[in-house]
Amino acid sequence: MFGSHQLRIAVSPDGSSFRDALSVDPATGIASQPNLPRFKAYTNYDNYVATDSWTTLGINVADYNDQGCFDAGTNRFVAPVAGTYLFGASLLFKINASSNARMRGRLVLNGSTEIRGSFGEISSAHVSEATALWLQTMVSLDASDTVALQGSFRAFDGYFAADHTTFWGAKIG
CATH number at residue 140: 2.60.120.40
CA dist 81 and 47 (Å) reads 30
CA–CA separation, 78 and 71 (whole Å): 7
Specify whether 140 is located in the same domain as 95. yes
pLDDT at 25: 84
Q: Domain check: are 48 and 125 in the same one?
A: yes
For residues 120 and 82, state if they share a domain: yes
Distance CA 71, CA 110 (A): 13
Shared-domain flag, residues 21 and 47: no
- Structure pTM? 0.90
- Side-chain half-sphere CA neighbours of 82 within 13 A: 1
74 with 90, same domain?
A: yes
Degrees (nearest 5) of the Cα angle 52, 107, 140?
A: 150
For residues 60-75, give the mean pLDDT. 95
**Residue, of 26 and 133, whose pLDDT is higher:** 133
Q: Is the pLDDT of residue 2 over 60?
A: no
Instruction: Tell me the three state secondary structure of residue 11.
Output: strand
81 and 114 assigned to the same domain: yes
* 59 and 132 inside one domain: yes
CA distance 39 to 49: 24
Q: What is the DSSP letter of 95?
A: -
Is the pLDDT assigned to residue 51 strictly greater than 70? yes
Range of the domain at 25: 1-35
Q: Are residues 50 and 124 located together in one domain of the fold?
A: yes
Into how many domains does the chain fold?
2
Average pLDDT over residues 96-102: 96
22 and 78 assigned to the same domain: no
The three-state secondary structure class of 162 is coil
Q: Are residues 100 and 110 in the same domain?
A: yes
